[in-house]
Amino acid sequence: MRVITKETIVNELKKIGLEKNDIVMVHTSLKSMGYVCGGAQTIIEALIDVVGSKGTIMMPTQSWKNLDPETGVHWDADESDWQLIRDNWPAYDKDITPTNTMGAVAEMFRTWPGSIRSDHPARSVCAWGKHAAYLTQNHDLSDIFGETSPLAKLYELNGKVLLLGVGYDKNTSLHLADVRAEYPGKHNCTEYSAIMENGMRVWKKYDTLFVDGEDFDAIGASFEEHRNVKSGSIGNAVIRLMNQRELVDYAVQWIGANRK
């Protein structure tokens, strides 16, 4: 197995078009790449080396287990214990609460010096760099992926999306298209999360758009047929770089035409 160094990663990122001062949403699977010398730390350092101190990196740092057991996120607990979970799940603390299945890179990134994490208890993002504070501020409970969310702010800043060893099913920006598109069956749902409110831990109720992402891979395949997506590889992993605004605009049209 060939060892992957930071130099290799930096070169491959530059080759597909990641540049100094870029604003980029990054989704990663470290294990898909193979043997990365230094692991998650090396990936983050390589990203910072490429975009520089005036660039911005954002990653999903979701803690989606901080949701009601009825949604299925606590499948390993008996239904008879659901109320115990509601009463005892720790309140979200952006400095402490770990990510859930976001990968080793995102988990390290949330504690990286200079990183700022948003306040959403289940669907947070973390950002580092010039626009980190702007991207992460005021992440409303009910507007997870919508017009005041970090995703919409990335769209406003004309940012990019970088997929490192993951597919479009992990491409969170497509949820912004969910919000903007019109399609049959579009509806809100009620969620609950443990948060601190007025110094007290509460099980907070909020309404938000219901999304599932089942067609995101199909959207991605169609997008790549019609738009410019630069791709390459790091070790065993396929990497892709795209303009987020182009992706979202295309997905809005695709969803409107194809989602039934």
* pLDDT, position 1: 64
* pLDDT, position 192: 97
Closest residue by Cα to residue 142 from 159, 168, 172, 119:
119
The pLDDT tens digits for 143-160 are: 999 999 999 999 999 999
Q: Which residues of the chain have pLDDT under 70?
A: 1
* pLDDT, position 152: 98
The pLDDT tens digits for 157-179 are: 999 999 999 999 999 999 999 99
Record the tokens describing residue 34, joined without a space: 């193979």
* pLDDT, position 45: 98
**Predicted structure pTM score:** 0.96
Residue 38's SS3 state is: coil
